Chains A and B, each alone.
Chain A
Amino acid sequence: MIELSGLRKVYPSPDGDVVALDGIDLTVERGTVHGIVGRSGAGKSTLIRCLTGLERPTAGTVTVDGVTISDLAENRLRTARRKTGMVFQHVNLLDSRTIADNVAYPLEVAGVRRAQRAARVAELLDLVDLGHRASAYPAQLSGGQKQRVGIARALATEPAVLLCDEPTSALDGETTRQILGLVSDLRDRLGITVVVITHEPSVVRETCDAATLLEHGRIVQSGALAQVVTQVGSPLSRALVPVPDVPPGRRRRLVEAVFATDAVSTATAFGAVAALGDDVEVLSATVEPLGTLRVGRLLVDTPQERTDEVVALLRAAGLDPLAAPAADDAGQEVA
């Protein structure tokens, strides 16, 4: 559905060119929810702007639903954009329009007749459960309600792709869950392809089928969520199932381990850890839901001479362990 090939974006600046994206190759399958994670400045926003055609790549191609949008002239691009819906962090509703008129906006742009517009708007507002607020203005809505209007607006022209740029970053936990639930639900019902840009690991864990980690404009890792998350030591695993920070200090040898409940139960996993003995210290651990599974990650401080034994014991119990390279103080490196 989305195909990025050799994508490169360079911004010229007086202090030398800034390379925002460099050699991005990425495929997003039809009907999947794909998460793009990375720190601010990693190139996430530039990537999504290239997907909407707001930004022209310096090199490479962007193909959405069979249309190579990176090649289109501006007027053709305007029409092509209707196949892509976009949801923004700050929603960007028009304050002067009612909720219904905001949702109608993309239909006006697409030249849909007034009568058809009204019917479609009613249908969309019902889809996001806001039919009763049609004549309210954005200022009268809560943050979560506004974002639901934003989603309804993004879906108005029946796009094949929904792009979400930090859709829940301005929302509280409960509202975030509602919005993510809505996105998953829409994917199931409409078969739409979704790309979510986020810095929140929980957003990816709760909604995405696949994820890509960007760093300095390059893809560090990309893959199906269930696979990348359980790959011990992989950057995406650490990014998506982070353990609480370990304070710096003198360590013996750090062993990192991951497990998923399709292979081993949490009780078995922690039982195995408990059986390691008193000279092994669990520094940090977490268990997070991932789809229908739970994924755990833990970091244990092990006596240097027992490292191989600990790794073997954890592996035997069904966990996936990895010993950090031998060092006096490897704590920061692993954490």
Chain B
Amino acid sequence: MGDLWIELTTNRVITEKLPEATLETLQMVGLSALITAVVGLPLGLLLRSLAADGLLPNRPLSAVLGFVVNVLRSLPFIILAVAVIPLTRAIVGTSLGWEAAVVPLSIGTIPFFARLVETAVRDVAPGKVEAARVMGSTTPKILRSVLVREALPAIVSGFTVTVIALIGFSAMVGAIGGGGLGFLAITYGFQRFDPVVLYTSVVVIIVLVTVVQLVGDAVARRLDHR
């Protein structure tokens, strides 16, 4: 035990690189989560609204959008991450570092989160929408005050799952030069065979996932008045 403590406090990789890598992971997950929320929420609402029993039924558009979302969701993340490298270069200017990792991470999780939003919103009782329409609500008002607000606990739970998936994906982009804890674990832990670095990275990731889950559950519970 004492040996492990000495190792943890003296290993230069752990004392210098680990905090830096953790910060990078937090930054890339944080920014990707923000982009996923901002794009995925409207996309999920759109998917739901375009359905035959939605607010703006449109069969062709619904089919096209559904297909695009399915294609993006079918690709294994590591392949998607490599495939979007040209796009990443075009947007960020480089394909290395945590900023570059945000592009494949966002593209990978937006369709995932959108589907979760779609499911959450579909579970809102149709009677509530009908009541809102009878009371003279406009479509934006129904989207905002009925569909999103009533589905919010489920949307928050879906977002929690999405952020946890993002943490997992962020470790994967580390493998192709994205930085963060994944990069640290692979380069120092695996390739230079330093098991302490490898497992310390794993522990930090476990802590991150646990914190996200606890916070997500707490927020969802506070919002849920059913």
Contacts and interface: CB of A to CB of B under 8 A. Distances in A.
A82 interface: yes
Interface SS of chain B: helix
Given A81-B136, A109-B136, A96 B127 contact: no
B145 interface: yes
22 contacts: A54-B130, A78-B136, A78-B137, A78-B138, A81-B133, A81-B134, A82-B135, A86-B131, A88-B130, A90-B127, A94-B128, A94-B145, A94-B150, A95-B225, A95-B226, A96-B149, A96-B150, A96-B225, A105-B135, A109-B132, A109-B138, A138-B225
Contacts of B149: 94, 96-97
Interface in A99-145: 105-106, 108-110, 137-139
A92 B136 contact: no
Given A88-B127, A90-B125, A157-B135, 16 more contacts: A52-B134, A54-B130, A78-B138, A82-B136, A84-B134, A92-B125, A92-B127, A92-B130, A94-B150, A95-B150, A105-B135, A106-B136, A108-B145, A109-B136, A138-B225, A139-B225
B221 interface: no
B128 to A, nearest CB: 5
Contacts of B125: 90, 92
Name, among B133, B135, B226, the residue most crowded by chain A CB atoms within 10 Å (CB to CB). B135
Given A106-B136, A109-B135, A109-B141, A94 B226 contact: no
Contact of B131 (A88, A96, A139): A88
Nearest to A77: B136
A86 B131 CA distance: 8
A80 B4 CA distance: 75
Nearest to B153: A96
A97 B128 CA distance: 12
Nearest to B137: A109
B84 interface: no
Contacts of A137: 225
B127 to A, nearest CB: 4
Contacts of B181: none
Nearest to A163: B134
A95 B151 CA distance: 10
B72 interface: no
Interface string B117-150: 0000000010110111111111001000110011
Give the top 7 A-B pairs by smallest Cβ distance, nearest first: A92-B131, A137-B225, A92-B127, A81-B136, A106-B135, A78-B136, A86-B134
B96 interface: no
B124 to A, nearest CB: 9
A79 interface: yes
B136 to A, nearest CB: 4
A52 B141 CA distance: 18
A305 B173 CA distance: 98
Interface of B: 125, 127-128, 130-138, 141, 145-146, 149-150, 152, 223, 225-226
B135 A92 contact: no
A54 B145 contact: no
Interface in A45-86: 52, 54, 78-79, 81-82, 84, 86
A311 B136 CA distance: 56
Contacts of A97: 149
Contact of A54 (B133, B141, B152): B133
Contacts of B137: 78, 109
A160 to B, nearest CB: 14
A153 to B, nearest CB: 8
B56 to A, nearest CB: 13
Contacts of A108: 145
Nearest to A98: B225
Contacts of A96: 149-150, 152, 223, 225
A94 B223 CA distance: 13
Nearest to B150: A96
Contacts of B226: 95, 139
Contacts of A106: 135-136
Contacts of A94: 128, 145-146, 149-150
Name, among A82, A88, A96, the residue most crowded by chain B CB atoms within 10 Å (CB to CB). A96
Given A96-B149, A96-B150, A81 B135 contact: yes
Nearest to A96: B149
Nearest to B129: A92
